[in-house]
Amino acid sequence: MKFKLLISIILVFSGLASAQTQNIELDNRLDWFKKAKLGIFIHWGYYGVNGVTESWSMYHKKISYQDYMQQGEKFTANKYNPEEWAELFKKIGAQYVVMTTKHHDGVALWDTKLSHLNMIEKTPAKRDLVAPYAKALRKNGLKVGLYYSLCDWSHPDYDVVFPRPNTKKDYPQKGQKKMDSWERFVLFYQGQLKELSSQFNPDLYWFDGDWEKSEEQWHSKALKDSLLSWNPNVIVNSRLNQYGDYKTPEQGVPVVRPEGPWEFCMTMNDNWGYYPSDTNYKPASQIIRTFVEVISKGGNLLLNIGPKPDGTIATEQKELLETLGDWINKHRSAVFETTAGLPYGHFYGPTLTSKDRKKIYLCLFDDPKNYIQLTGIQNKVAGIKVLGSNEELAFTRNGGAAWNNIPVILRINIPKDENLNKYVSIIEVSLEDELKLYRGHGNAVELND
């Protein structure tokens, strides 16, 4: 009996210890990601030639498989300058980039040996597009993210819902004839990931399409283990069933702050790929507000662009990136030296707090009226200024009963018109010591002054 008890105690403790090492290890891997704030998503592929939806246009039978693939003949990449891309991304404050190395359509952008359906063999581009991308990012100090679709609507062993000719000739499968078709597919896709891992040593994998199969079918756990054994520092988004390292909501900012590390990805118009007839671009004001909202909730924004088939970035997209970048560069301390802001109830709008918890940044989406109000801050305030202009703002502590733990209101004078930012103004509140918040429900003043 005693022996059994001892064994179970040992098991519990060794389990705890290994969970702890795993957590520490995960924290280390995620360290850069948690501070990144801005990433650029790139959807680049055949679909930009006709301006159709990436892969999904086939799925929804808007275009036949043959016509979709024929777009490859006009995918030139003849003005592709990844160095220029990387410099632009760096200039605007992005810390990482994620590019589609293979979307659901199955077209590989790198020199894969596992299918002929790649940019080298099928397009006039005739070259590996991932290698120079990874090189340019690294040269500019940006982290390298690779998007990879688990589902593959071209592979002959992958079942699809739309008519498709036999694609076997594009997939060399020597010695695999006797295998079960799904086993063959798993071997194929894990082989492609091995190629990507060994050739580009990615910092991040961005999987997609896991919902088409179960984790047992993908062998997700084994894949995650392999990815880590190939690149011990790699991080993985949440689309590898339950084996992701961070959450990946898309297109609508979560209303409730997600727990743990997360990233929000969003298109600039309504499409991921280049789609010239889609002119429904979000205004710069919306993109900047979204960015602020996301970082105030502790996440990163992964903002998408869809380069043209020649490798250039459409003017509208470039301008939006630059406007966001100008705003970020004017507000760098609020963006990069902060973590998520205050919980609900202290300020009507997004906030950020400095890493040392001695500064609060109030983000004004609208021009303020009468005064700016901050509630329930127990600290003495050292000073308040507008980021950008450095205008000092006068303030008064009012109401409450600090001696009885009843919160006061901080009434802050509004900035001069010329010091308000066109998009989002940031007010920096410096505290005398580490932030102490009042989070109570109120009570009677039992001892008056």
Using CB under 6 A as the criterion, which residues of the chain lie in contact with ligand GLC when the complex forms? Answer: 43, 54, 56, 208, 250, 265, 272
Q: By C-beta, is 220 or 379 nearer to ligand GLC?
A: 220
Query: What is the token pair recorded at 285?
Result: 């004001």
Q: By C-beta, is 272 or 361 nearer to ligand GLC?
A: 272
Smallest distance from ligand GLC to CB 262, Å: 13
State phi, psi for 372 to the nearest 5 degrees. Answer: -100, 135
Question: 3-state SS of 53-111?
Answer: CCCHHHHCCCCCHHHHHHHHHHCCCCCCCHHHHHHHHHHCCCCEEEEEEECCCCCECCC
| Alpha helix ranges (H) inside 98-240 | 119-122, 130-139, 181-200, 215-218, 220-230
Smallest distance from ligand GLC to CB 167, Å: 20
Q: By C-beta, is 43 or 143 nearer to ligand GLC?
A: 43
Give the pairing of strands 204-208 and 143-149. Answer: parallel
Q: In what helix (H) or strand (E) does residue 180 lie, and over which residues does it extend?
A: none
Q: By C-beta, is 265 or 384 nearer to ligand GLC?
A: 265
Question: Which residues, 6 or more positions from 433, have their beta carbon under 8 angstroms from its beta carbon?
Answer: 358, 379, 380
Distance separating alpha carbons of residues 40 and 137, to the nearest angstrom? 11
Smallest distance from ligand GLC to CB 250, Å: 5
Smallest distance from ligand GLC to CB 337, Å: 29
Smallest distance from ligand GLC to CB 163, Å: 20
Q: By C-beta, is 98 or 328 nearer to ligand GLC?
A: 98
Q: By C-beta, is 94 or 265 nearer to ligand GLC?
A: 265
Residue of minimal Cβ distance to ligand GLC: 250
Q: Contact 192/184 with Cβ under 8 angstroms?
A: no
Smallest distance from ligand GLC to CB 302, Å: 8
Query: What is the token pair recorded at 30?
Result: 């995620």
Q: By C-beta, is 265 or 324 nearer to ligand GLC?
A: 265
Smallest distance from ligand GLC to CB 219, Å: 21
Distance separating alpha carbons of residues 104 and 112, to the nearest angstrom? 16
